[in-house]
Structure formats: structure tokens, C-alpha cells
Amino acid sequence: MSIQNPYGKYIKLSIYLVIIVLINVAGITLFFRMDLTANRIYSLSDASKTVVSTLSEPLTINVFFTKDLPAPYNNTERYLHDLLEEYAIHANAYFNYRFYDVSPEAEGIDPRTLENQKLANNYGIHPVQIQAFEEDEVKFKKAYMGLVLIHGDMVERIPTITTINGIEYKLTTAIQKLNNKISALLSLPDTIKVKLFLSSSLKSVAPFMGLNQLPEYPDKLKAIVDGLNVKNYQKLEYAYIDPSTEPTQEPSWKKYNLMHLQWPALSDGKIQAGEGTIGLIMEYGEKIKEIPLLSVLRLPIVGTQYNLADIDDMEHVIDDNLETLVDINQDLGYLSDHGTLNISGASPMGQRNPDALSIFSGLISQTYSIKSINLKNADIPASINCLVIARPTEKFSDFELYQIDQALMKGTNLAIFLDAFKEVRPNAQQPFGMNRGPNYVPLDTGLEKLLSHYGIRIKKSYVLDENCHKQRLPQNMGGGERPIYFAPIIKNRFINHDLQYLRGINGLISVKISPLELDNARISEHALTAVKLIASSEKSWEMRQPINLNPMFLSPPSSDDEQQSFPLAYILEGSFPSYFDGKPMPEKTTEGTGIESQDNKKTTPEPVVEKTTADLSKIKGQGGFISKGKPAKIFLMAGSEMLKDNVLNPEGNSPNDMFILNTIDALNHRENIAVMRSKVLGFNPLVDTGTLTKTFVKTFNIAGLPVLLVFLGLIVWLKRHSRKKRIQSMFKK
């Protein structure tokens, strides 16, 4: 007979406790995490992995975080530990991070802690006040919760981190900002080729065209490239090519779409018949940027004029295009004339400007440099990836439309927020002017015919929706809520989640927006792709002229047949056909004299050119015009209110903010950044349910559960009664 050890169960319990403690210690010290969230909130995005794996110079992250903070701040510290550890797993040898102890001890402050606190203050990381619940009391304490990133001589700081939302986005964008052009250039395996194509035959005709600087252009351009090479680690390679000596089987002007001129004998034989090519190409790998050097203007009365790109501007132009070629360009074009919304957000005399875009400007400026484009005085730079056009109200000339069209042909994406109506407010000085609502006049800027040619149109109406924003009324107006039908709420199921950068966005609100319609025949003819981004609900309808948006006079239509879902935003993608293909090239005209100064900066007079009888109109030009474009995208939304300050949030964390910023990122080839931004969005509305479903759930909760409980009790009673009968019958036998 074996003797059982009376202490055996206690020994087993002790072993189990030790194992549990060791497992917890291993879980704290060893990094392991399984992310089961829908948007993979706790997993590192591909964009973050790419950024830290391509560092070319040392990057150090110093974290100053007070230990043993109360919830939820202790979770933030733990998450930051895990996030930086995951960064380190995917980073190269240049990535480092360190946590500094800035927590005061119970009996005093350790000298090393005091030094760490001074270091944090020197970096601009100061303690913040937080609430803590201790001993059933609400107490306030100061805590350090920030970090600093050091990359070479540059420093970027995130002074306060109080929540896990957006930490990865802030860190990755800060690292991207620091991992600047120098780091990108150092990692380039090849050089960027700068090729000047200039036929020697053009030098003979240049004086008669007013291009007196043309013979000196190659040497001056070479000097500019040499100067840029010093700043860019000798990554530029300059070449001067005379197309007259090239083989004839593949002319360079056709390959690169350069300006090619042909002319007969001019000026009584002083100029022999000939042809020539001019243009500047920047090439890296398969990426090519064409920089036009010669522009042709056909002005009424004056005639044909030729203008050579100012050599003094070429350093800036080459530098901008260099950034685009190596994917570090952060410029975003914004059309600043033609009555567009004010991107600066300035308000007169300190008053609030209802048309200001100060919030949009602030959010965009975090990751882009806004470059204002004035079509009346300058061309659209080839270095920008996207041009934003927000609510123009003035008519575009054909020449300005030609510039937009050709920018699209060259691959520049367009983000267009175009209103169908112009809101004209009554003059307050007129009798009863303050009591009248605004007038809505149909808007025709000329962009409409361009968009129609590409295959999309804006309907002259507003979308009203029963699923809309509800305005809370004050008690003196009876209280309750009033529907604002012209502010539709875009439900989750009407957002295109097939696009990755929209997957985390589950609801939007729009204001004064018009429906869009496609020309499917034209889109199919040109092999374009139209992707619907958002739409109104099936409870929406159109309001056509006369427009009256006074909520007191708005009501849904009596018949459900008048209601349907309307598309509110599209992205068109593909190789667009030029609107000007087969049409005469538009002339550039100006108000007044009809002549526009091409270079107001010059103070020295041009050399005197001998007057000749040369007829410049006989010079025929080819190239420069693109009839079928490179692959590009057009985003169109017929509602500029989405960009205004009353819709966007300064923090940049609302669904509307995410939608606008992610769309801009997608048009700038930064979908990975957009996906990372929206995965932390916390707006998750409940799934829409119908009236019958709501009634059933309500009835079941009130009456169904008690009935079900009685029914289950009856079943239990019947089973017990049957068992009792069975037992009685067994004993009777």
C-alpha cells in the first residue's frame, strides 16, 4: 500500500504558480502580438516597414515617458514599447530607440532622472497634467509623455502622446520627413540623366525668332547642373545632344514628345529651309520628365511669338523634377486664381471667412508643400503629381483649359471640387435684403466641357436626402431636431470599400452637393475606368431650379418613385483623350493690350535684333501637343463645402478629414500612407436596420423574453414531471 504525500497538492500548486509567473514575465519581455482587429490597428503598415528599412543615415528615437501611470496612459506606454520594437524588427542597422527614465522616486528625485528630465526639456518635451484615481480620490499629477526623433542634424519631436490612436502615422510621417532628399539620393544606384536636345540648325533661325540666348543655353545649363551636382552627391549626369546628328530611324522629338520646328526659306533667303528640335529631358530608370523649353504663343494682332524658358529658373525647375523622379516630391499644386477658395484661410479684419480653407491647408501642410498655381501668369509645373481645383467661379479661357488638358495628358492627376451653382447673397443695403435667401445661379466655368469630353458630367441640381444631418433646435423654437436635407449623411454601405484607402471610413457627411453622371459610351470608347467612391442613400432626391434650401420649406417627395441613390464622387482613370485633338490651338490673350509680359523680373534690355521681313507664321511646329495622354486620374466631386472649415476637423481624425486626405494621397501615389492613416478611425456606426427589424427586436425584448422564459420553464417542469412519473412506475414494479 503506497503512502500518499500530504504536501503533494501544495507542491503542484506552487509549480503551477511559478509557471504562470514565468509565462507572464516572458510575455512582457519577449515581443509577440497577434492582431485580430478588423483594420489591423496593432500591426505595422507596409508604409512604415518601407520607411524604416530604407534608412540611409542613423535615426534615433528618444522616448521620455513617466513610468507606472494610471490607466489608460499605462496602455499607451506599453503600446509604444511594442510599436518601436516592431519598427526595429523591420528596420535596418540605422534605426535605434531608447526609453529614458523620467519618473521621480518616492523618496526623491534620482540624479540620473533629473538629468533625463533636463534633456527632455531641452528637446521641447515638457510634462503635462493628467488625472489619476488613487485611494478613491481624483488627483492631478504631472507626467512626461513625448518623444524626439534625431536624424543627422535635424530634430523632430512629438511632445505629447496621450492615446494610441495615430501614433504609427505620426511616427512614420515624421521619419519620412527626416529621411529627406539627401538620404534618398545616397541610396540611388544610378545617376539621373539630364539631357538637353538642341538642334544646331535652330541657332541660325533663333535671332529672327527673338531667341537671342539660345546659342549660350547649353553652356549655361551645364553650369547649373554642375552646381546642383555638388548639392546632390554627383547624382546628376548632363548630356548635350544635337538631334541633327542622330540616326533618322527614331527621332528624339517623337520618342520624348519634344518641340520640333520646320521652316521654309525665310527673309529673302537669309534663312535656309530646315528643321530643328528643342527640349529638356530628365530620366531615371523608366521614369521620364519632359521639361518644355520653348513655348509658342499666337496673339491677336501681334502674331506668333516664341519664348525661351528663363535660364535663371532652370535650377529650381530641375531640382523640383529631381524630387519627383526619386519619389520624394511633396509638392501639391493648388489653383489659386479664377475665384477658387482661399487656401490661405485669411479673413478680413479678423472676421470669420465662410469660404476659408484654413483647416484643409493646415492638414495638408503636414505632409505636402502647397504650391500655388496661377494659370493667368504661369504654366502648370511638370513636377507636381496632383493639381487641386476647388470651386472656381470665373470663366477659363481656351488657352487655360488647354494648359489643364495638357497637364492631364502628361500624367498630372486632377482633384476637382466643382460646384454646380454659384451662391449669390442679396445686398443687405437693399430693402428687406436681410430677409431674403441667397440666389443659386448655374455655374459655367468651361471645365464642364472638358469633363464632359472625358466622360463625366455634373447635373444642375442638389441632392437632398432623408438620411441627413439633424439640427438641434433651441427651446425657444420648440426644441427637438430639424432635418437638414441638403446635408446628406453618407452611410457605410454607400462607401466603396473595395479601395483600400477607404476601408476604414464608415460614414461621411456632405453639404450642398450635386449628383454626377457618366457618359458610359465615351468611357468605354477610350478604355477609361470609372470608380464610384460615395453615393447618397436610396431615400434621396434632386432639387432643381429654382433652388430654395430653407429647411422650413423642405420636405421629402410624396412618392417613393422620386427617390433613388445618386453618385456623389468618382475617380476616372486611364489614358485620357485630349479635348483639343483636331481643334485649332487656342491663342493666349490678355485684357487690355492683348500682350502679356513673359518675364517681369528682367531689368536689363534685350539686345537689339535687326529687323527682317521674316514671316514667323510659316514656321511649322510639331511635338509639344499630346493628343493621347499618359495614365492619369481625375477625382471629381460636385461640392466644395467638403473642404471648408465648417466640415473638417482641425485634429484631422474625423471621417471627412480621412476621406479628403486619403483621396489626395491616392492621387499623389501614396496609397500606403492613406491606408495607415485611416486604420485607426474610431467611428463605427451600427448597421442600418429596417422598420420591421426594429419593431421585431423591440417587441422581442419587451414581450418575447418573458414568454421565452415561461416556455423554457414549462419544458423543465414537464421533464421533471416525466422523470418523477418514470421513477414512480419503477418502484411500483
Q: What is the pLDDT of residue 609?
A: 42
Give the integer Cα–Cα distance in Å for 353 and 344: 11
Contacts of 721 (CB under 8 A, 6+ apart): none
The whole-chain average pLDDT of the chain stands at 82
**Does position 636 have pLDDT exceeding 50, yes or no?**
yes
pLDDT tens-digit profile of 89-108?
888 888 999 999 888 654 45
Give the integer Cα–Cα distance in Å for 521 and 519: 6
Q: What is the pLDDT of residue 70?
A: 78
- For residue 603, give the DSSP letter: -
**Does position 347 have pLDDT exceeding 50, yes or no?**
no
Give the integer Cα–Cα distance in Å for 69 and 65: 9
Q: What is the pLDDT of residue 349?
A: 40
Q: What is the pLDDT of residue 560?
A: 84
Q: What is the pLDDT of residue 37?
A: 66
pLDDT tens-digit profile of 397-411?
999 999 999 999 999
pLDDT tens-digit profile of 465-519?
999 998 888 877 777 889 999 999 999 899 999 998 898 888 899 999 999 999 9
Give the integer Cα–Cα distance in Å for 35 and 615: 73
Residue 516: how many CA atoms within 13 Å on its side-chain side? 30
- pTM score, whole prediction: 0.71
Q: What is the pLDDT of residue 605?
A: 41
- For residue 231, give the DSSP letter: H
Give the integer Cα–Cα distance in Å for 317 and 310: 10
Which residue, among 368, 289, 336, 326, has the nearest Cα to 667 in the 3D structure?
368
**Does position 700 have pLDDT exceeding 70, yes or no?**
yes
Give the integer Cα–Cα distance in Å for 679 and 229: 41
C-alpha grid cell, residue 605:
534690355
- The residue with greater pLDDT, 40 or 516, is 516
**Does position 593 have pLDDT exceeding 50, yes or no?**
no
Confidence tier at 60 by pLDDT (50, 70, 90): very high
- The residue with greater pLDDT, 673 or 326, is 673
User: What is the widest separation between alpha-carbon atoms in the chain?
Assistant: 138
Least confident of 43-52, 244-253, 286-295: 244-253
Looking at residues 529-546, what average pLDDT do you find? 94
Contacts of 605 (CB under 8 A, 6+ apart): none
Give the integer Cα–Cα distance in Å for 142 and 154: 28
Type and span of the H or E element at 318: helix 314-325
State yes or no: cis peptide before 243, omega within 30 of 0.
no
Least confident of 33-42, 60-69, 239-248, 531-540: 33-42
Q: What is the pLDDT of residue 589?
A: 64
Q: What is the pLDDT of residue 105?
A: 58
Q: What is the pLDDT of residue 599?
A: 38
**Does position 603 have pLDDT exceeding 50, yes or no?**
no
Q: What is the pLDDT of residue 596?
A: 40
**Does position 608 have pLDDT exceeding 70, yes or no?**
no
Confidence tier at 544 by pLDDT (50, 70, 90): very high
**Does position 671 have pLDDT exceeding 50, yes or no?**
yes
Looking at residues 231-254, what average pLDDT do you find? 78
Question: Counting beta carbons within 10 angstroms of the beta carbon of residue 721, is it exposed (0 to 12), middle (13 to 18) or buried (19 or more)?
Answer: exposed
Per-residue b or e along 243-279, where b marks 16 or more CB atoms closer than 10 Å to that residue's CB: beebeeeebbbeebbbbbbebeebeeeebeebbbbbb
Which parts of 70-166 fold into alpha helices (H)? 73-90, 111-122
C-alpha grid cell, residue 658:
480621412
Give the integer Cα–Cα distance in Å for 726 and 733: 11
**Does position 350 have pLDDT exceeding 50, yes or no?**
no
C-alpha angle 346/351/353, rounded to 5°?
Answer: 55
Give the integer Cα–Cα distance in Å for 132 and 137: 8
**Does position 606 have pLDDT exceeding 50, yes or no?**
no
